Amino acid sequence: MTLIEGKTVSQAVKERIKNEIARRGIEPCLAVILVGDDPASRIYVANKQKACEACGIRSLKYQLPKETTQKELLALVDRLNADKNVHGILCQLPLPKPLDKRPVLARIDPKKDVDCFHPNNVGKLWSSGAAFLPCTPAGVIELLNYYKIDCTGKRCVILGRSNIVGKPMAALMLKKDATVTICHSRTADLKAVCKEADILISAIGKPKFVTADMVKDGAVLIDVGINRMENGKLCGDVDFDAVKEKASFITPVPGGCGPMTIAMLMQNTLTAYDLQQK
């Protein structure tokens, strides 16, 4: 069993970005919008700002009160769209009620959409010519590439059909020439489907859901889930201790896919800068 070290790979990605920015003498800029005072969102935003600093990316944070109206939020997006010194725009989710994320994500300039949530970018992901890749799925692909895991012709099973991870993950794995199955809460005989997977990617947010009897011997296990147990410790969707001896490769939680999401956000910000120079 080989442990897939997300911290190591993410550091390599950020170092590559830092060197590229320094070599070219440029200053990409990422603007992050945070509405309300959700503790988890605050931590995520702080981590993104820290990564920006490490890579040489200028970071702007727009902290708005939870009482912010839809109109006010959209007006801020419009201002950032028009600012030529801002290259990437990210609206931290979830938004407090009653704000609707859909018009906000659709309002961000597709060339500044570093989360790849804009309908135009989602469409390009499934066709061709995508400038950005969604950060978490792109991070998984980076891990597979780093560890030289060949996906061609492999049976890939993805647990979860969310727009953020499951669906775009399927698109990227198809481009890697894997044969892809997406499973969800209505999937019949889920255990048998998972057991056929050469590569099993879980993103459902259920602690230790994937057990040893769901895993094929020698499978690659990618655990995107991050769950907090009653004792306060973090765990993934995969019961790590129960399945690690069956896996050929496995990601830990924490320290697996998590660090890759922010690393790929940095990559998308650099890509956005280049797009806007053309």
Which tokens go with 216?
Answer: 């094929």
Type of residue at 52? C
Q: Label residues 249-275 b or e (16+ Cβ within 10 Å = b).
A: bbbbbebbbbbbbbbbbbbbbbbbbee
Helical packing angle, 258-277 and 6-24, nearest 10°? 20
Quote the Cα angle for 14-260-198, to 5°.
135
Please state the φ and ψ torsions of residue 102, each to the nearest 5 degrees.
Answer: -60, -50
98 vs 104: CA distance, rounded Å = 13
Fold of 24-111: Rossmann fold (3.40.50)
169 vs 163: CA distance, rounded Å = 9
- When pLDDT is cut at 50, 70 and 90, the band that residue 56 belongs to is very high
Residues of the chain with CATH 3.40.50.720: 135-258
Which pLDDT score, from 0 to 100, does residue 137 have? Answer: 97
Q: Compute the mean pLDDT over every residue in the chain, rounded to the nearest whole number.
A: 96
Average pLDDT over residues 186-205: 97
Which residues partner with 264 through β-bridges?
Answer: none
- When pLDDT is cut at 50, 70 and 90, the band that residue 153 belongs to is very high
Average pLDDT over residues 229-253: 93
- Give residue 63's Cα distance to chain centre: 22
What's the pTM value of the predicted model, to 2 decimals?
Answer: 0.95
DSSP calls for 155-221? EEEEE---TTTHHHHHHHHHHTT-EEEEE-TT-TTHHHHHHT-SEEEE-S--TT-B-GGG--TT-EE
Please indicate whether residue 233 or residue 215 has the higher confidence score (pLDDT). 215
**Residue 241 contacts residue 229 (beta carbons within 8 Å):** no
Residues of the chain with CATH 3.40.50.10860: 24-111
| 74 pLDDT higher than 80 | yes
DSSP calls for 84-148? TT--EEEE-SSPPTT--HHHHHHHS-GGGBTT--SHHHHHHHHSS--S---HHHHHHHHHHHHTT
Average pLDDT over residues 36-43: 91
Active site (catalytic) residues: 48, 92, 115
Count how many Cα atoms sit within 13 Å of the Cα of residue 90 in the half-sphere of its side chain: 26
Torsion of CA 161, 164, 169, 174, to 10 degrees: 80
CATH 3.40.50.720 fits 135-258, yes or no: yes
Which pLDDT score, from 0 to 100, does residue 258 have? Answer: 93
